Amino acid sequence: QAYVDKFDEYCAEGKVESVAFPESRRVLQELAGKGDIAVYSSGTDKSISAMLEQSGLSDLVTDGRLVIPLGRLENIQKTDPKAFTLLKQYLKENGFETQTYTDDTPDIVLAAVKSATGIPRIYHIDRKAGLSAAEPKEGYIKIASLDQMKELR
């Protein structure tokens, strides 16, 4: 807990810098026009909010219930498929429906797939992949940039 508290402190003081990728704001604005944006993170409410603020994206998450730290969902790591079952349940209980999930960590993407929660589209964003187009995989879609998401077409 001391580590988490210190991390929160550093985020609030701007000692941990959060930088969005160049296309993030434009893509998230477009997606926000189609539905609510949620952030599911291993951070805390405080650190997630600070990083959204620092990266200039905080205005795109318009409902505080959609800033979702692991602590709100039993602290189960996102590499465990149960985490996504709990996420979907939490969102449903709060009147939201999961349409898309995007992550840059392969093990987390696979946990989302294995959760069998029926998330319509799961993306693995791999900026080093050099893909010129989205690449369908078993249960998810590999992309090199947010611009390759099908929701943008």
Q: What's the whole-model pTM score?
A: 0.84
Q: What is the model's pLDDT at position 22?
A: 75
- Read off the pLDDT of residues 11-64 as tens digits, 9 standing for 90 and up: 777 777 666 677 888 888 988 888 899 999 988 888 888 888 888 899 999 999
Q: What is the model's pLDDT at position 153?
A: 57
Q: Has residue 115 got a pLDDT over 70?
A: yes
- More reliable by pLDDT, 91 or 153: 91
| Residue closest to 44 by CA, chosen among 68, 79, 19 | 68
Contact 55, 25 (CB under 8 A): no
